[in-house]
Amino acid sequence: MPAIAPFRVAVVQHAPVFLDRDATIDKACRLIAEAAREGAKLVAFPEAFVPAYPDWVWVLPARERKALGSLYAELVANGVTVPGPETARLGAAARAAGVQLVIGVNEVNAEASGTSLYNTLLFFDAEGRLYAKHRKLIPTGGERLVWAMGDGSTLAVHETPLGRLCGVICWENYMPLTRYTHYAGGAQIYVAATWDRGEPWLATMRHIAREGRVYVLNACMALHRDDVPDRLEFKRHYPPDREWINVGDSAVVSPEGALIAGPLHARHGIVIAEIDPGQFAGSRWMFDAAGHYARPDVFQLTVRRVARPMLSEAPEVTPAASPRRARSRKAPPRATSIPQPDPSKAGRPKPARPKRSGRTR
């Protein structure tokens, strides 16, 4: 692969147009263009940006089933079919801006019932082609009221003109084997699309960058109280003095674990940083988690990448052709007769057998 010149990346920290898919995609397209004007070649958005992160799962009591059902129905109605008209619009925006794009959506399971959702990252190249997606392996806590589990078929590192790129969603980043799978896949740019924030989370991002010797793009959603429509009842569960539902803290971290841009705290904006591809290999001379510092003779990791569809068609079974020549045919089994009892002797006792005397040799 020819040497790659340093380039800029953008991490978008904005709120969606809450639970409005089409308006959120319009906003995403504007932000993609804005990031490109800042010189970005790769643009990363937070998890579940389209049409919203379902934060109500953390504030609504489970007994409020009517409210939960209504919100879920609205989220499904504004979900994204992959591929579909919405992904075509995002791809067109990436192509017009000439950027690689990673963005989180609520994906409808169009391959089955059409009423379940996945927390999904979409990957577009600079030509606007949707070339991959990743479904979050396991939703966290209350998220399981909304999202289904992904499988290993979408766990991958992608070769791009900017380097080898992967995407990991929120608390998947706490799964050591998930991280190692990407290190072993040769990841160089690691997009961590998330809802989490704060010092413990930023420490995790810095650890991952240093452990994997990767550039980490921590993309978090900043959500102000005013970003949630007043018509939604769950909003009343937030404390009155809570101005920011999520403060964001988006950032970019170098392979040495240093913050090189951000964190952007409690405001909307775009974090811009420069990536030096020379650090992709150079940073690993002393530690390479999935290379010279690995011990495959001691530890083994098995990854199952087979998709697990909801419905599989059984293959048609063709009956075996019968042999043409009669002599090759097996003779039919002989009929056997079972002795029937004599009705005239029914009820008669069996005569006793005489006892033998003496020994027999």
Query: Does residue 341 carry a pLDDT above 50?
Result: yes
Residue 153, pLDDT > 80, answer yes
Section 238-250 average pLDDT: 96
Active-site hit among 136, 143, 166, 172: 136
Q: How confident is the model at residue 353 (pLDDT cuts 50, 70, 90)?
A: low
Q: Which of 86, 170, 172, 220 is catalytic?
A: 170
Burial class (CB in 10 A: 0-12, 13-18, 19+), 289: middle
pLDDT reading at 336 higher than 50:
no
Mean pLDDT of the chain: 90
Give me the catalytic one of 27, 47, 166, 220. 47
pLDDT of residue 30 exceeding 70: yes
Instruction: Please give the domain boundaries of the chain with CATH numbers for all domains.
Output: 7-282 (3.60.110.10)
Residue 130 DSSP label: E
pLDDT of residue 311: 81
- Give me the pLDDT at residue 335, please: 47
Task: Answer yes or no: is pLDDT of 57 > 50.
Answer: yes
The tens digit of pLDDT for each residue in 279-333 reads 998 888 888 888 898 999 999 999 999 888 888 888 888 877 655 654 555 555 5
Q: How far is CA 256 from the centre of its chain?
A: 27
Q: What is the C-alpha to C-alpha distance for residues 183 and 74, in angstroms, rounded to an integer?
A: 38
Across the beta sheet with 248-253, the strand order is 158-160, 163-169, 189-194, 215-220, 248-253, 259-265
Cis peptide preceding 263, ω within 30 of 0 = yes
DSSP for 222-278, please give it.
-EEGGGS-TT-GGGGGS-TT--EEE-EEEEEE-TTS-EEEEEEESS-EEEEEEE-TH
47 counts as catalytic: yes
> What pLDDT score was predicted for residue 288?
87
pLDDT, residue 197, reads 96
The pLDDT of residue 282: 84
pLDDT at 41 (0 to 100): 98
